[in-house]
Structure 1
Amino acid sequence: MSLRIERHIDLSGLSASVAAVTPEAVARAGEHIRGVSVSRTPVDTGRLSGSAAVHLDHQDGDATASITYDGPYARYQHERLDLRHETGQAKFLESALLSEADTALDMIATDLRRAL
């Protein structure tokens, strides 16, 4: 005696669901990192922290978020370790990215799991 069980699973919708959610998930994670970096940004007039923006690039199922600070002095404030700030710190964006990378990845993973 033999018993044979066949089951056919259509996974084509799975990748479409993940691809549809990916840009929003990456953007949300980028916004989280931007928010943390803004809280660490040196403040004089507030223009620098107000210029922080997340830019999303997505195509073919891939998504990339980049965070920028506008202004001629953004790089100067970020890179100069010898500057003293009453509010904020040098490396405000870099330190936020390093400290929040795991949280950002968890946010993306949570959104992708929901799509499944």
Structure 2
Amino acid sequence: MPRYTLRLDLPQVESDLRPAAARGAFLAAEYVLGESQAVVPLDEAALSRSGTASVDEASLTGAVSYDTPYAVVQHERLDFRHAPGRQAKYLEQPLFQARQQVAAIVAAELRRAMR
């Protein structure tokens, strides 16, 4: 009966997959940004225009942020009135609802890298 030996260079595997994981994290953050854009409060659209997606490649952490002085207040204050279809928790809710899509986006990028 033949014997087979599998040699796995885990540092090399990690090195090869890291760029794909970072790309997946960025694409997933872009997806969440798009979902949040549909519900972000609108007045003069400054808040909406300030939305960005980013990734820290060292920690493989994706982020979605809105950069206005009132972004956090708009997100947290549940008592504010918003236009129809717009809401507080404009990041939290879309991220929670998209968690399966986020995982699928990252997994797809990793699968592409392993081909």
Q: Do both share a fold (TM > 0.5)? A: yes
TM-score range, shorter chain: 0.7 to 0.9
| Cα distance between partner residues in 1 of 2:77 and 2:19 | 40
For 1:32-84, what per-residue CA distance to the aligned partner results, in whole angstroms no more than 9, with x for missing partners? 0011011110111111011011121112xx41011111111111111111111
Counterpart for residue 100 of structure 1? 98
TM-score, structure 1 normalization: 0.86
TM-score, reference length from structure 2: 0.86
- Within 1, Cα distance between the matches of 2:19 and 2:71? 34
Residue 25 of structure 1 and its aligned partner are, at CA, apart by 0.8
Which ranges in structure 1 are unaligned for 5 or more consecutive residues? none
Structure 2 portions without partners, runs of 5+:
none
**Distance in 1 (alpha carbons) for counterparts of 2:110 and 2:95:** 21
Partner of residue 41, structure 2: 42
CA deviations on 1:69-109 (whole Å, 9 max, x unpaired) are 11111111111111111141010001011101111011101
Asked which structure has the greater CA Rg, the reply is 1
2-structure distance, mates of 1:68, 1:26? 14
Q: Point out the more displaced range, 86-95 or 8-17.
A: 8-17
Matched residue of 1:108: which SS? helix
5 Å matches for 1:1-116? 3-9=1-7, 11=9, 14-59=13-58, 62-87=59-84, 88-116=86-114
Aligned residues: 112
Aligned-pair identity in percent equals 31
